[in-house]
Amino acid sequence: MFTIKRIAAIAAVAAAVLLPLPQAASAQALDIKEKCTGKTCIYYSGTGAGGFYAIASGKDFYGHVDLWGPGITFRNSPTATNPSTDAHGLGSGWVCARGWAHSGGQYIEMGWPCVHVD
């Protein structure tokens, strides 16, 4: 599910104007792609050659998410409930996110979605 903050961030990167539309309509207008595995999702907009913007997000867990891909230096989010991090990338290839719940001093994988950016 897209939050207004995430849609606004992608809109700024895409140089689009975010109008007061329902969230689903706004996401379609910006051509945001999404893939979720378990409780971890990756969202992106753009192309490899023209540059893209990606967001890694965790849902319903306390922990962190990692994000990496073409032109993205490996990033991980601060530890939080519903963690997220974002980055701009450039180039074609796989963009991946990996979620990690923190529980009792252990890390538990919460999903590992990847999308191919052309």
- Using one digit for the tens of pLDDT, what is the confidence trace for 20-37? 334 444 444 568 899 999
Q: Which amino acid is at 100?
A: W
Provide the pLDDT for residue 13.
Answer: 43
Provide the pLDDT for residue 21.
Answer: 37
Provide the pLDDT for residue 4.
Answer: 46
Q: What percentage of residues in the chain have a pLDDT greater than 90?
A: 69
Q: For the segment 5-21, what is each residue's pLDDT rounded down to a tens digit? A: 554 444 444 433 323 33
- Alpha-carbon span 48 to 56, nearest angstrom: 17
Q: For the segment 74-111, what is each residue's pLDDT rounded down to a tens digit? A: 999 999 999 999 999 999 999 999 999 999 999 999 99
Identify the helix (H) or strand (E) that includes residue 9.
helix 4-13
Considering the entire predicted model, what is its pTM? 0.75
Ordered by where they begin, the domains of the chain are 33-117 (2.60.40.10)
Q: Tell me which residue of 50, 52, 102, 94 sits closest to 76, measured CA to CA.
A: 102
